[in-house]
Structure 1
Amino acid sequence: MEEIRETGGARIGMANATWPMATLIVNRQTLQLKASIIGDLVFRPSDITSIEPYTLIPVLGQGIKINHTVPGYNAKVIFWTFGSPETLIRKIEQTGFLVNANPIPADVAVKVVTAQTGGSFPVKKSAAIAVLLIWNILFLYDIIRFFNGEHKRFPLGIGAQLALAFVFLISLLLLISVPVRNLILKPGMEINGIKSFLFLLMLITVIMFTAISIFPK
């Protein structure tokens, strides 16, 4: 078996991504856990100490725990699956990943090191802070108007609409613009890992924007 690709959920530290927001990809050279916005982790065989079954709730909360030695990653890394954790571990073993003691190709090694050095969170810290700051500033406009008695619904107004439109625009640009991706995502991070999250975020912002637009002021 050259490669396996499984869809499921994931938990990285305290952050949790439900099915189908996570993908586990394993071949002989790397094990990658793409968990949307909560993290994109990649490991070499030498980074893994063991992979063991993990059960929180039978059937609904079971998966595998990936024990590793990467300093920049959270120690608790779990992939949730509806299937048997033991079967999934056997599939991983069949790829040869766990017993691969050979050096991985130099180009693959560089990508792994770059990803690990940047940490698991796919967005640059400065970009995340900037987006949150703009979001809060736009909402602040409605808060000020509310306390000034200019409108009665808190905090739903033009500020909230602008904030939602801003998040929608950022999400769209991430999907279609390479320069924006380079500006916001960490080096080595791919847009495919967070596409499902971005589509969901855009849908939510459209629904909320529409609701605010027809909500009585």
Structure 2
Amino acid sequence: MKPYIKKTGGIRIGNLNLTYPFVKLFVEPEQITFYFFFFKTITIPKENLAGIYKYEFLPFIGEGIAFKLKSEKKFSSIILKSNKIIFWYFGDREKLLQEIKMILT
């Protein structure tokens, strides 16, 4: 069985912003997948990630993990007009960030 992370949160991609609890994040050794409630799925292979870091827009309510992509491109059936995806998360961001990095390496 593959190690993975499953977390619930929100997401921001360009002008699209969905709040908690409308997005599920799944992290597997070869890819990251975002499941949008009512929308679609974005699957990003780990080779298309340029970086992962903590992100803060507003203290306590605008905190999450940012996934920087190598380029704007089509993932699954969604064309991303941004090279950054922010996963809004209310838990321990530092712990989540370390877990994600551990699984993807």
For Structure 1 versus Structure 2, the TM-score category normalised by the shorter chain is: 0.7 to 0.9
Q: 1:54 aligns to what?
A: 55
Q: Does 1:75 align with 2:83?
A: yes
The structure with the larger Rg is 1
Q: Which residue type is aligned with residue 29 of structure 1?
A: E
Distance in 2 (CA, whole Å) between partners of 1:94 and 1:75 is 22
TM-score, length basis structure 2: 0.82
Q: Is the 8 A contact 1:63 1:80 kept in 2?
A: yes
Distance in 2 (CA, whole Å) between partners of 1:83 and 1:64 is 11
By percentage of residues, which structure has more helix? 1
In the TM superposition, residue 76 of structure 1 has moved relative to its aligned partner by: 2.9
Distance in 2 (CA, whole Å) between partners of 1:31 and 1:15 is 19
Q: Is the 8 A contact 1:9 1:22 kept in 2?
A: yes
Gaps of 5+ in 1: 100-217
CA distances 1:87-128 after superposition (whole Å, capped 9, x unpaired): 111111232x1x2xxxxxxxxxxxxxxxxxxxxxxxxxxxxx
By percentage of residues, which structure has more strand? 2
Q: Is the 8 A contact 1:15 1:38 kept in 2?
A: no
In the TM superposition, residue 39 of structure 1 has moved relative to its aligned partner by: 5.0
Task: State the secondary structure of the residue aligned to 1:65.
Answer: strand
Gaps of 5+ in 2: 74-79
Distance in 2 (CA, whole Å) between partners of 1:65 and 1:88 is 12
Task: State the secondary structure of the residue aligned to 1:57.
Answer: coil
Q: Percent sequence identity over matched residues?
A: 28
Q: Is the 8 A contact 1:53 1:86 kept in 2?
A: yes
Q: Is the 8 A contact 2:69 2:84 kept in 1?
A: no
